Amino acid sequence: MKARKINKILSFMAPLLLFFIIWQIVGVLDLMDTTLLSKPTKVFERIIQLIQATNKKTIIEHSAESITRTTIALFLATTIGCSLGILLGLKKNIEETLNPIITFLMPIPGIAWAPLFITWIGFGNPTIISVGTLSAFFPIVYNTSLGIKSINKQIIWSTSIMGANRRKIIKDVILPGSLPHITTGFKLGLARSWRTVIAVEMLAATTGGLGYMVFDAREYLDVTTVYAGIILMAFLYLLVENTLIKELENKTIKRWGMIT
Amino acid sequence: MDELKIEIKNLTKSFMGGEGEVKAIENLNLSIKENEFTVLVGPSGCGKSTLLYMLAGFEKPTSGSILLDNQIIKGPGPDRGFVFQDFVLYPWKTVVRNISFGLEIQGFSQKEAIEKAKQKINLLGLQGFENAYPHTLSGGMKQRVGIARALAYNPKVLLMDEPFGSLDAQTRKLMQEELLRIWNKEKKTVVFVTHSVIEAVFLADRVVVLTDRPSRVKGIIDIHLDRPRDYEHTYTDERYIELREKVLNILKDEVIHHKQHYESV
Ligand SMILES: Nc1ncnc2c1ncn2[C@@H]1O[C@H](COP(=O)(O)OP(=O)(O)O)[C@@H](O)[C@H]1O
Ligand SMILES: [Mg+2]
């Protein structure tokens, strides 16, 4: 069990390592302009520097700001999106009314809402979080209602014949039965809000955040810091997905055999 | 034993489909006595599940009526239990919680419900699997849970829709014997659907042969075989073999009719 896990991590890391090595070689041999390309060793050095920075915000503080915004956005999107998704999944007429609107709005990239929100509520957290919420909302509402609609009719019958009322059936059968779809929506929502929050930070953040940090570094042609930020964006997302989310799945739908 | 339990009168059920109206059942009449083991056989797609769903109250008749204890069936209710071919257990509940859930719905506290569920665990031979999740069980074990769940809240009528249809032959025979043992212990009115004549005659007090769609009662064969029955003895019983032939003969025309109409090459 443990050995398999280590094996899996290794086979994930190997190609990444190869990529970094090639990048390093290109940088060392000066095959391309290093002010544009930088080098992995320089980037990692920079990350350490940025962690220890005393004269400005550390990269940890920037990360914390992005993570906090994403968490709030995801929490709001999950609360609103799940509630509405449940309603849409249960009430056909409401779904028929709202579905065209949702279908129309869903493909719009989150970042495209930023100019509107900046105009409405200005720069700063309210705009970043609102746009992050909006972009996570659509996959969550869509997948929740899909999950509820695709519940097996027979499992509802099994419960109704025992004398369960509608409320009990919704709470104890329809909701747990939709968990695989709800989880999918939540994971898509996490990915979407993380991307959107960082993107909007470049336009609307006034204090910090990984997006802000990267965009700010660009003004000083500090490519190395840009790479440091980018690597952290990927790293933090993968960390959350592979620990928190995985753990949550392992304890629920995976344990119940509802996903493989 | 002679008390009338279920009375089906002029029952018709049609569905609106893409190609217009499909009549699944037309003018079906059938009476079932209390604690009787009735097995319905008929060609596939003739409306057996549909009939069982109406007995359960999942579906409503298009016309005609079904009386249960002289009351028209208005919807599903805990005086009946249902067992599906595909088990349809709750994947997120352990075996014992699957079984106790019906009792919790009836208003028992979780503790009492689990206590009572233990009796059914013993009855179905599920000891040791109380805390397993359904996906870890074999088909036969899953259906034991399905039956225990349907029996847990003590319904008077047990409706079973090809419950052993997705089990391998060996497990299937074992489960048939188990079912008879349980039925002998907990007297219930059983309505059991199958398309296996071997299974039907082995289990039934009465085998009801349905016609091809739209379904009506083609014939009723009383199975006066001794009980308790088991495969070792009943299988070689001449009367059992005769009765099987008899049911097969009645069914044959319907299966041929079905083939000509729906599988014409
Ligand atoms: N919900 C439904 N809508 C339309 N047609 C249905 C529906 N349920 C069953 N039918 C049709 O009614 C007929 C009887 O189905 P069913 O009762 O499942 O047959 P059986 O269980 O005997 O194989 C079939 O032709 C089936 O296609
Ligand atoms: Mg069927």
**Residue ranges per domain, chain B?**
4-79+156-264, 91-154
Nearest one of A38, A35, A60 to A49, comparing CA atoms = A60
Residue A1: band (very low, low, confident or very high) from pLDDT cuts 50, 70, 90: low
Best A158, A173, A178 member to test B by mutation, with max B CBs in 10 Å, is: A158
Mean pLDDT is lowest, of A23-32, A85-94, A154-163, A235-244, for: A23-32
Instruction: Classify A224 as helix, strand or coil.
Output: helix
Contacts of B149 in chain A (CB under 8 A): 158
Instruction: CATH number of the domain at A181, please.
Output: 1.10.3720.10
Residue A151: band (very low, low, confident or very high) from pLDDT cuts 50, 70, 90: very high
Residue A30: band (very low, low, confident or very high) from pLDDT cuts 50, 70, 90: confident
Residue nearest to atom 4 of ligand 1 (CA): B15
Is it the case that residue A86 has pLDDT exceeding 70?
yes
C-alpha A156 to ligand 1 mean position (Å): 18
Average confidence (pLDDT) over A110-115: 96
Residue B20: band (very low, low, confident or very high) from pLDDT cuts 50, 70, 90: confident
Lookup: tokens for B124: 């179905």
Q: Is residue A47 part of a domain?
A: no
Q: What is the pLDDT of residues A171-195, one digit of tens each?
A: 999 999 999 999 999 999 999 999 9
Q: Is residue A120 part of a domain?
A: yes
Sign for the pseudo-dihedral over CA of A147, A153, A154, A156: positive
Residue B254: band (very low, low, confident or very high) from pLDDT cuts 50, 70, 90: confident
Please indicate if any CB of chain B lies within 8 Å of the CB of A258: yes
The predicted structure's pLDDT at residue B97: 98
Q: What is the tally of structural domains in chain A? A: 1
Q: Residue A54: how many CA atoms within 13 Å on its side-chain side? A: 0
User: Which of A162, A163, A176 is nearest residue B92 as measured by Cβ atoms?
Assistant: A176
Reply yes or no on domain B4-79+156-264 having CATH 3.30.10.20: no
Best B92, B101, B131 member to test A by mutation, with max A CBs in 10 Å, is: B92
Residue with tokens 């009386």: B67
Contacts of B133 in chain A (CB under 8 A): 255-257
Instruction: Kindly list the protein residues whose Cβ atom lies closer than 6 A to any atom of ligand 1.
Output: B 15, 17, 22, 24, 42, 44-50, 213
Q: Is residue A22 part of a domain?
A: no
The predicted structure's pLDDT at residue B265: 41
- The pTM (predicted TM-score) of the whole model is 0.92
- Residues in a beta bridge with B190: B37, B158
What is the distance between the alpha carbons of residues A96 and B100, in angstroms, rounded to a whole number? 38
Q: Is residue A219 part of a domain?
A: yes
Cβ pairs A/B, distance under 8 A: 65
Residues B97 and B118 sit within 8 Å (Cβ to Cβ): no
Average confidence (pLDDT) over A227-235: 97
Q: Is residue A33 part of a domain?
A: no
Is it the case that residue A7 has pLDDT exceeding 50?
yes
Is it the case that residue A33 has pLDDT exceeding 90?
no
Is it the case that residue B52 has pLDDT exceeding 60?
yes
Chain mean position to CA A240: 9
Q: Is residue A69 part of a domain?
A: yes
Q: Is residue A256 part of a domain?
A: no
User: Would you call A160 and B105 a contact, using CB atoms and an 8 Å cutoff?
Assistant: no
Q: Is residue A141 part of a domain?
A: yes
> What atom of ligand 1 comes closest to residue B48's alpha carbon?
22
Q: What is the span of the domain harbouring residue A229? A: 63-251
The predicted structure's pLDDT at residue B151: 97
